Structure 1
Amino acid sequence: MRARDDAEFTEFAATMIRPLRRTAFLMCGDWHRAEDAAQDALVKVYRRWNRIERREGVRSYAHRAVVTSVLDQGRKPWRRERLNDPDDAALVVPDVGGPVDNRLMVVKALAQLPPSQRACVVLRYYNDLSVDETADILGVSAGGVKSQTSRGLDRLRQLIGHPERSAS
């Protein structure tokens, strides 16, 4: 890779590591696994840096890579952990400026969603991606994203204790 490309990638990685780590954490509920997934995603981006379309393609590819990495980690037998362990509360970085209890409740509820629903909810509402962007990242149709997101939100409402659907 040329020095200019190396500098571009370094700038991209510095900008994207936090959002990728946050996405991975919301999908797996473990900061250590999230860090691994974010780094794996950046390695995949680095390997294809010269072939990825630079406009929005590189961000989309990075998100796809982190989602794939988290899902792959979860398939490994030694990684099948549940967030129900009381010691897992220590893994969550305290949020000094906001309601920690609500955040923990949402993270635990997200962990109980099936992987496809969790990925759709995280990408749509935590990463603020469109239906089409989410569909592209996950490799599914826009209708699939809509249905998985709807089911995921309904399940989250049940888990959190707000079964009624708010009018949007």
Structure 2
Amino acid sequence: MDRDSAFEQYVEVRQAALLRLAYLLTGDQHAAEDLVQSALAKLYLAWNRVERADSIDAYAKRIMINEHSSWWRRAWRRLETTTDAVPERPVIADFGQALAERDALWTVVQALPPRQRAAVVLRFYEDMSEQDVAVTLGCSVGTVKSQTSRALATLRNRLQERRGTDR
């Protein structure tokens, strides 16, 4: 199979999963699509080298996380922040408390710093081991543990604060 066919086959099979991860990292469908496209473009450029590696998915995820982190560092991202209040999602009575709690949790997860959000998403949504997350993020297992711990502590505190103000 030639290079282009192999890459196209990979994209066809894995694009939905990569888009799901990108959405969890960015919190926005359009930004997620942009992130996946940027990552796939970089993956294509390195395809000959990556195709021979053990895990193409790990390489693709690392590209996405690095790209997302670099987006956060860019000045233009800070300049395009909207001043409009984010509208509350309507909670349908049929879904009850579970939906409200899930929305509250997702709002708090979106507010985490990029590195902490990546650690939480990879550990708990992608169900990756600490070792796999460390490889994907290019850091030590201890860093994964500390980033995850800080993220979980922040999530707990902010959710408790939200519950206190909702009453």
Q: Do the aligned partners of 2:26 and 2:32 also contact (CA within 8 Å) in 1?
A: yes
Does 2:86 match 1:86?
Answer: yes
Larger deviation, residues 116-125 vs 5-14: 5-14
**Shift in Å, 1:119:** 1.1
Q: Which residue of 1 aligns with 2:48?
A: 50
Partner of 2:118: 119
Shift of residue 154, structure 1, vs aligned partner: 1.7
Residue 150 in 1 paired to residue 165 in 2?
no
Alignment partners' CA distance in 2, 1:69 and 1:11: 23
For 1:88 and 1:78, locate their aligned partners in 2 and report how far apart those are by CA, in whole Å. 26
Q: Write the letter of the residue equivalent to 1:50.
A: N
Q: Give, as a single letter, the amino acid of the residue that structure 2 aligns with 1:156.
A: L
Q: Is the Cα contact below 8 Å between 1:34 and 1:70 reproduced in 2?
A: no
Sequence identity percentage: 38
**Post-superposition shift, 1:4?**
2.7
Aligned to 2:165: none
2:45 corresponds to which letter in structure 1?
R
User: Runs of 5+ in structure 1 lacking a partner?
Assistant: 91-96, 163-168
CA contact (8 A) 2:27 2:110 kept: yes
What corresponds to 2:61 in structure 1? Answer: 63
Cα distance, 1:108–1:56 mapped onto 2, change above 3 Å? farther
| Count of residue pairs the alignment pairs up | 153
Residue 40 in 1 paired to residue 38 in 2? yes
Give 1:22 deviation, angstroms. 1.9
1:29 partnered with 2:27: yes
The answer on 1:134 being equivalent to 2:133 is yes
Which stretch has the larger CA shift, 33-42 or 152-161?
152-161
Question: Quick one: distance in 2 between partners of 1:48 and 1:145?
Answer: 26
TM-score of the two chains, using structure 2 as the length reference: 0.79
Tell me the amino acid that sits aligned with residue 129 of structure 1.
Answer: M
Indicate the residue corresponding to 1:93 in structure 2: none
Moved more, 47-56 or 120-129: 47-56
Contact 2:68 2:114 in 1 (8 A): no
Looking at CA atoms only, which structure, 1 or 2, has the larger radius of gyration? 2
The alignment's C-alpha RMSD in Å is 2.7
2:17 corresponds in structure 1 to 19
